[in-house]
Amino acid sequence: MDLDWTAEEEAFRDEVRTFLQENLDADLAAAGCLATSVYPDHAASMRWQAILHAKGWAAPHWPLEHGGQDWSAAQHYIFESERIAAGAPSLSPMGIHMVAHVITRFGTEEQKAWFLPRILTGEVFFCQGYSEPGAGSDLASLQLAAVREGEAFVLNGSKIWTTHATEANWMFALVRTAREDRPQKGITFLLLRMDDPGIEVRPMLMSSGEEVQSQVFFTDVRVPVANVLGEVDDGWSVAKYLLEFERGGSAYAPDLHVRAERLAAQAEAQGGDDGCPLIEDPLFASRLAALRARIDVLGTLELRLLSGTGQGSSVGALSSMLKVLGTETAQALTRLALEAAGPQALVYQPHAVRPGGPIPFYAAPEDGYLAGERWHALAPLRYFNERAASIYAGSNEIQRNILARAIVGV
């Protein structure tokens, strides 16, 4: 694999940079650079999606016939790298980056024609209904009951850790439509409206103070059978395909590279106990160097993945490897940033950053006072949010089991 950019790829990089310079205003850049987790400020993210959609770049990884771009794997990687370097916010992944792939592969022509254009514009905004109080990493044990009555399913039960349930107007959910000899059987992949009667959303307060996730309760909710994606009772096949994109469908390395470089610059300006710049502390410098090396390795693996998918290969087990490496490297980076921030990270001041959801029980100072720099305020919030990274999308322990079976053969 040749890792040098061609002249055409360098020209594309220049085109992306020009586009970002012309369209990325200060508010959007702040929403990207000061995001406390993988989920940016909702309003800014949707405004940025509208700008990208007008350019035709909201979903470049989609098939051409549905609004995508005929980009090479290298172009996709360049675009993501330049977007992150410029500070542009990410887009919510549940619609464009996750369920859209499943609709493209398993949906009927009617489902494709109705959902895909509306996902692009943001008119349809999805949340993911997978986890339940008793079914997290062991997702196959889910119990949300969907009993068929004529041409509708009647849902009773709940989902938990549902990101952006308060903003979403649609949910893609796994429901239990039958009980078979194996828990993976009898599961159905269902698309449902969040304003259907009988749905109650209760926001959850996270350790960071944000309300990004919710628990969603279903009481006699009627969903048309026509909203099934794939086959009834065979939703596990659909879910496994979607999880490939949740675990490894996007690149970790560009974001981690930018964050590592910013941390190096911050450590250059931050004094240690001896008054010297923190970057000159041998222990800190060695830990940062080790993380930079891991990020370089991760970037090479991601280019391999993009190269394979560009040739029609399945993401497969490699997505599990990238999920483990990407999330654990991110966690190590936030730990180091928190240590670098020192005592100033103890001050809780989310008004200085751009949280991914509402923060109840907090009143920002009227004069906007900030103790230290913005990165001092960002460090603890990112640290708390990053704790979940090795759990969501299937815990890293589960990913290691998948790798052992698929690659090692044990």
Rounded to two decimals, the pTM is 0.87
Structure tokens at 42: 């909702």
Residue range(s) of every CATH 2.40.110.10 domain in the chain: 126-234
Class of the CATH-defined domain 126-234: mainly beta
Name every residue whose Cβ is closer than 8 Å to that of residue 81 and which is 6 or more positions away in sequence. 251, 254, 257
Structure tokens at 334: 């936030």
Q: What is the mean pLDDT of residues 139-146?
A: 92
Mean pLDDT of the chain: 90
Residue 331 to residue 339: CA distance in whole angstroms: 13
Write the CA distances from 81 to 74, 277, 310, integer angstroms: 10, 29, 17
The yes-or-no verdict on residue 316 having pLDDT over 80 is: no
pLDDT one-digit tens code per residue, 323-358: 899 999 999 999 999 999 999 999 999 999 999 999
What's residue 250's pLDDT? 60
The yes-or-no verdict on residue 312 having pLDDT over 70 is: no
What region does 141 belong to: left with phi over 0, alpha with psi -120 to 50, or beta? alpha
The CA angle 283-286-292, to the nearest 5 degrees, is 145
Q: What is the mean pLDDT of residues 252-275?
A: 85
Name every residue whose Cβ is closer than 8 Å to that of residue 11 and which is 6 or more positions away in sequence. none
Name every residue whose Cβ is closer than 8 Å to that of residue 324 and which is 6 or more positions away in sequence. 390, 396, 399, 400, 403
Structure tokens at 112: 């494709």
The domain over range 250-314+316-408 is classified in CATH as 1.20.140.10: yes
Whole-number percent of the chain with pLDDT over 70: 93
Q: What is the mean pLDDT of residues 357-362?
A: 92
Residue 277 to residue 179: CA distance in whole angstroms: 62
**Would you say 278 and 344 are in contact if contact means Cβ atoms under 8 Å apart?**
no
Alpha helices in 252-317 (DSSP H): 253-269, 282-310
The yes-or-no verdict on residue 24 having pLDDT over 50 is: yes
> From start to end of 69-178, where are the E strands?
126-129, 145-149, 152-163, 170-176
Letter for the amino acid at 314?
A: S
Residue range(s) of every CATH 1.20.140.10 domain in the chain: 250-314+316-408
pLDDT one-digit tens code per residue, 40-87: 899 999 999 999 999 999 999 899 999 999 998 888 889 988 999 999
What's residue 315's pLDDT? 56
Write the CA distances from 195 to 7, 94, 255, 343, integer angstroms: 50, 18, 35, 45
The yes-or-no verdict on residue 314 having pLDDT over 80 is: no
